[in-house]
Amino acid sequence: MDSSALHNDRLIFQRIARGDAQAFAEFYEAYAVKLALYVSRFLGSELWAEEIVHDTFLKLWSIRETLTTVETPAAFVYRMIANRAKDHLKHQEHEVKLQQHLVRQLQLANTNTTQDQLDYQIGEKLYRQAIQQLPAQRALVFKMRHEQGMSYDEIAAVLDLSRHTVRNLLNLALKDIRSYLLKHGDIAGIAVFLFLLK
């Protein structure tokens, strides 16, 4: 980056730090498309790239008061984007592992010892109770995702919500379920479900 562009970005960050929404819009216009292309190459998904860029700019605005100390604004935002993309990839990998683990556990349920089956049944009962304790919208979104296998976009379309809202509702539901299981369960009976909800 040439020195004039760097100087301009620093000035924009100074303005953003003071709460200047116009400066924020200027920075977004200058970098959003470039960042989306960068992330889509990293993830192989334009859809997720757009969401990650959107989330990153929301985060940037939320921490705007700290931007006065940033020496290289473009590099700073690229690092933020890269970290969020890596987190997304880890989450995707974790979801695949969870699904594979659940399939294995269900297959083993018919061949395990009586005690193992009893532990599993206890865990499953508590898991169902935990879902019933969720607020209605969280429970609905959770069931659509984890029981009906619907994608974030499908859920968003059916419920007329944004993908971001769907993701937030799922995260809240998972936290609530984990808390319920830890509070009410025997660790032997709920271990598999706690693993699945990591």
For the chain, the first-to-last Cα distance in angstroms comes to 41
> What is the percent of the chain where pLDDT is above 70?
74
* pLDDT at res. 22: 93
What pTM value is reported for the model? 0.47
Find out whether 142 and 131 touch, Cβ atoms under 8 Å: yes
* pLDDT at res. 189: 44
Angle at the Cα of 90 (from 85 to 119), degrees rounded to 5?
150
Instruction: Look at residue 133 and tell me whether its pLDDT is greater than 60.
Output: yes
Question: How far apart are the C-alpha atoms of 28 and 195, rounded to whole Å?
Answer: 39
| Higher-pLDDT residue of 47, 100 | 47
- For the chain, give the mean pLDDT: 78
Find out whether 190 and 127 touch, Cβ atoms under 8 Å: yes
The residue-averaged pLDDT of 52-80 equals 90
